[in-house]
């Protein structure tokens, strides 16, 4: 056992560092904190700092009134891994002082120190350091407070109540790179320079979890709306309304992103193993209209011998918003339909639900009478409108409302054989369309605010709006776990699909997808970076609409299945879907000859020459199931990412990767590793027969570790290569042997 005792001297203050005993943990040596934390008080502000998990600290701060103890948190206390031995930290600490002394605690390989700013000798500012193998220290970040500046922790009171808004600033450098932050449609893997509003809406799921190339991870553990700003010298986080500010920082060796993901997921949650059927092909379109159409669809899959694992019924399949059941006039025997689909194809079924409730719904009176609907803080309480009806969303933050929702879904769907649920329009506030009033009037194309200030059981949209999609996922998860009598974190028997999420959404049996995107080439390219940001945020259960969701009105051929231009785009998009955590097609299609209410979107819908290509990728997906199970198991056990931006695996072996990532070049925003062996590069422009790919350097230039999937030609890393990419082939390279990939023996 190694003992460390140090002193930190500033002015006249001399405080012993609260150090730790060294203990072995695998191949590393960790330093157990022998302090439960410190509370620093000065003026009206209180700051509580606690060692948290391995290599981490949790910080909470508040002005005047202490927290109630009922604040919303998205992190586990205690974390899933650490020295806590199952004991929660709560608000515990063992050292208190009033801001005129200094303090330091080491937890594993991270140190927090207090120090003065602005010439003040008091111990106000927090700084976080990583301890290197040689016991030297590297500054990760500190509260940003240059001379004569605004305090790094800034509060103001926008209303008469006790809730405050807060702005917290941290130091950064121009060369720092930021990865994660949820998903945005921005072509960026490195978020440096971004200003991101913490407001969820269709195609944007901003989430304040990120990793830095400096070797730390950060969680802004707040349910409120706000902002993230990543400037050249300052990173700033804003909470619009709060009763406490709460964040966590964890450290790992520089370039060790798997350890960072392990540390972060120990705080926010580990994904359960998905059911095997979900790793196959998911068929959907906007929309299947009735029971007969779905049964004929299943028969066609059987007749053509095309495997399918999940068939989805999309929106407007109900009679009224909030019925949460299929319209019996169009779906007269749901149980018989689900059984027939299963018998013909082996596929499960999924149905869409919206959170919206209209006053003509069968459930409206009971929901409104029990306070299960969210409302607005002023006016008649309606939160949005759809198809000529004003609606209110059910309140996912209310446990009783979640229970009511699940009981209704269980009675109307689950017990009739539809056991998977699509949580659409799950963004919170309204129906998640920030710029359009749902087509209610051709004269109203936008509204002069982001989302209504909705009132929930736990607070307002401003103070707790980011909880809504997470709690909506939770409603389905609670239902799944109760009906299957299984525990959170164990293998999922069923799944949900959500358009939104938040910190720790990966702990649910719930996929997140990238929203209602447009069917054009540039949008395809954007989705790659979006998926890689989702991965860095911790969401391994990610997917998108193969082919895009809807036509771009400025592009005549967009989403039209009878045009050669769109058929080419669809094939390229579909190829890429094979190498995502979940393979899914969906969308609103145009066509020249329409036989149903909505145009087709099935594997055979894109012409005789393209159908064999599409089917070949579906069958390849099923060949890859052992590989998929292996990488999902690693994600479940350790948080190790499934989609892997190039910096995760090659930053330390390839000197070019960091610079290309900093600049968000195509090599780093449109290429990634899918698990440990497959390098995927979707084709994102039309009319190409060859494609250039950057192969990361692994060893010396003489070694040729990369093999092109389609020709078995080998290549050295550290170079750009141009390979044949006819319409039949997505550019795909692998490491090792194909036999190992097909068997799943890859770790």
Contact status, residue 325 vs residue 413, Cβ threshold 8 Å:
yes
Nearest 5°: the CA angle 119, 142, 222 is: 120
CA atoms within 13 A on the CB side of 675: 28
Question: Distance of CA 729 to CAs 214, 577, 620, 682, Å?
Answer: 38, 13, 12, 10
Picking from 532, 533, 526, 577, the residue whose alpha carbon sits closest to that of residue 672 is 532
The first and second tokens of residue 45, run together, are 């502000």
- Number of neighbouring beta carbons within 10 Å of residue 148: 8
Rounded CA-CA distance 472/388 in Å is 25
For residue 491, the Cα-to-chain-centroid distance in whole angstroms is 20
CA atoms within 13 A on the CB side of 20: 24
Picking from 568, 569, 563, the residue whose alpha carbon sits closest to that of residue 521 is 569
Rounded CA-CA distance 325/410 in Å is 10
- Number of neighbouring beta carbons within 10 Å of residue 446: 10
Q: 301-326 as b/e, with b when 16 or more CB fall inside 10 Å?
A: bbeeebebbbbbbbbbbbebbbbbbb
Rounded CA-CA distance 373/364 in Å is 9
* Helices assigned H by DSSP within 657-714: 657-662, 666-669
Rounded CA-CA distance 219/247 in Å is 5
- Number of neighbouring beta carbons within 10 Å of residue 634: 19
Question: Distance of CA 207 to CAs 1, 340, 512, 596, Å?
Answer: 41, 41, 13, 39
Question: Distance of CA 10 to CAs 7, 126, 324, 342, Å?
Answer: 10, 14, 64, 72
Contact status, residue 260 vs residue 250, Cβ threshold 8 Å:
yes
Catalytic residue chosen out of the listed positions 427, 516, 545, 654: 516
Strands of 558-696 (E only): list them: 583-584, 643-644, 672-674, 678-680, 690-695
Is 424 an annotated catalytic residue? yes
φ/ψ (deg, to 5) at 690: -145, 160
Q: 341-370 as b/e, with b when 16 or more CB fall inside 10 Å?
A: beebbebbbbbbbbbbbbeebebbeebeee
Query: Using the 8-state DSSP alphabet, how is residue 570 labeled?
Result: H
- Determine whether 552 is exposed, middle or buried from the number of CB atoms within 10 Å of its CB (0-12, 13-18, 19+): middle
Catalytic residue chosen out of the listed positions 314, 384, 424, 649: 424
| Catalytic (active-site) positions | 424, 516
């Amino acid at each position: 056992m190694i003992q460390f005792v140090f002193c930190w001297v500033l002015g006249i203050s001399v405080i012993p560092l609260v150090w730790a005993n060294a203990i072995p943990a695998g191949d590393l040596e960790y330093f157990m904190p022998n302090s439960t934390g410190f509370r620093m008080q000065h003026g009206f502000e209180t700051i509580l700092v606690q060692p948290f998990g391995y290599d981490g600290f949790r910080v909470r701060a508040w002005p005047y009134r202490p927290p109630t103890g009922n604040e919303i948190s998205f992190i586990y206390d205690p974390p899933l891994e650490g020295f806590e031995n199952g004991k929660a930290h709560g608000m515990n600490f063992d050292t208190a002082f009033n801001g005129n002394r200094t303090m330091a605690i080491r937890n594993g390989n991270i140190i927090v120190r207090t120090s003065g700013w602005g010439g003040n000798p008091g111990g106000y500012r927090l700084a976080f350091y990583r301890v290197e193998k040689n016991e030297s220290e590297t500054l990760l970040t500190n509260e940003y407070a240059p001379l004569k500046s605004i305090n790094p922790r800034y509060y103001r009171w926008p209303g008469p109540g006790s809730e405050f808004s807060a702005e917290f600033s941290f130091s950064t450098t121009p060369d720092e790179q930021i990865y994660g932050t949820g998903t945005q449609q921005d072509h960026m893997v490195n978020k440096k320079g971004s200003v991101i509003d913490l407001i969820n809406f269709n195609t944007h799921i901003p989430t304040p979890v990120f990793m830095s190339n400096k070797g730390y991870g950060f969680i802004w553990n707040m349910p409120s709306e706000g902002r993230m700003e990543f400037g050249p010298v300052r990173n700033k986080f804003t909470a619009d309304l709060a009763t406490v500010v709460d964040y966590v920082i964890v450290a790992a060796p520089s370039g060790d992103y798997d350890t960072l993901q392990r540390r972060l997921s120990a705080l926010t949650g580990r994904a359960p193993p998905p059911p095997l059927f979900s790793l196959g092909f998911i068929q959907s379109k906007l929309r299947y209209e009735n029971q007969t159409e779905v049964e004929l669809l299943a028969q066609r899959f059987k007749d053509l011998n095309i495997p399918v694992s999940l068939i989805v019924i999309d929106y407007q399949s109900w009679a009224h918003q909030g019925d949460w059941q299929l319209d019996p006039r169009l779906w007269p025997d749901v149980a018989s339909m689900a059984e027939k689909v299963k018998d013909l194809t082996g596929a499960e079924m999924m149905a869409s639900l919206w959170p919206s409730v209209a006053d003509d719904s069968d459930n409206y009176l009971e929901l409104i009478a029990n306070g299960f609907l969210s409302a607005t803080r002023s006016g008649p309480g309606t939160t949005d409108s759809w198809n000529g009806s004003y609606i209110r969303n059910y309140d996912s933050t209310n446990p009783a409302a979640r229970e009511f929702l699940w009981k209704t879904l269980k009675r109307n769907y689950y017990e009739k054989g539809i056991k998977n649920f699509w949580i659409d329009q799950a963004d919170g506030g309204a129906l998640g369309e920030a710029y359009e009033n749902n087509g209610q009037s051709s004269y109203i194309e936008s509204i002069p605010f982001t989302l209504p200030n909705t009132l929930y059981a736990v607070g307002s949209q401003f103070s707790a709006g980011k909880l809504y999609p997470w709690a909506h996922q939770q409603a389905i998860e609670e239902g799944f776990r109760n009906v299957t009598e299984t525990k959170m974190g164990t293998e999922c028997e069923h799944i949900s699909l959500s358009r939104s999420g938040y910190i720790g959404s990966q702990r649910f049996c719930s996929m997140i997808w990238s929203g209602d995107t447009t069917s054009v080439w540039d949008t395809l390219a954007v989705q790659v970076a979006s998926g890689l940001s989702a991965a860095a945020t911790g969401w391994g259960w990610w997917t998108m609409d193969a082919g895009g969701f809807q036509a771009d009105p400025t592009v005549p051929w967009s989403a039209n299945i009878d045009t050669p231009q769109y058929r080419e785009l669809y094939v390229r998009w579909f190829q890429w879907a094979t190498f995502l955590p979940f393979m899914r097609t969906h969308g609103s299609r145009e066509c020249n000859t329409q036989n149903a209410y909505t145009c087709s979107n099935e594997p055979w819908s894109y012409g005789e020459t393209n159908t064999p290509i599409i089917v070949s990728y579906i069958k390849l997906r099923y060949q890859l199931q052992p590989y998929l199970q292996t990488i999902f198991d690693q994600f479940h056990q350790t948080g190790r990412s499934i989609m892997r931006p190039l910096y995760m695996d090659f930053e330390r072996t390839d000197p070019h990767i960091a610079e290309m990532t900093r600049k968000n070049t195509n090599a780093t925003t449109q290429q990634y590793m899918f698990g440990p062996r497959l390098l995927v590069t979707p084709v994102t422009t039309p009319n190409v027969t060859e494609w250039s790919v950057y192969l990361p350097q692994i060893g010396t230039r003489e070694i040729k570790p990369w093999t092109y999937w389609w020709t078995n030609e080998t290549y050295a890393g550290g170079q750009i290569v141009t390979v044949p990419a006819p319409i039949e082939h997505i550019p795909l390279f692998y490491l090792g042997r194909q036999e190992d990939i097909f068997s799943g023996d890859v770790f």
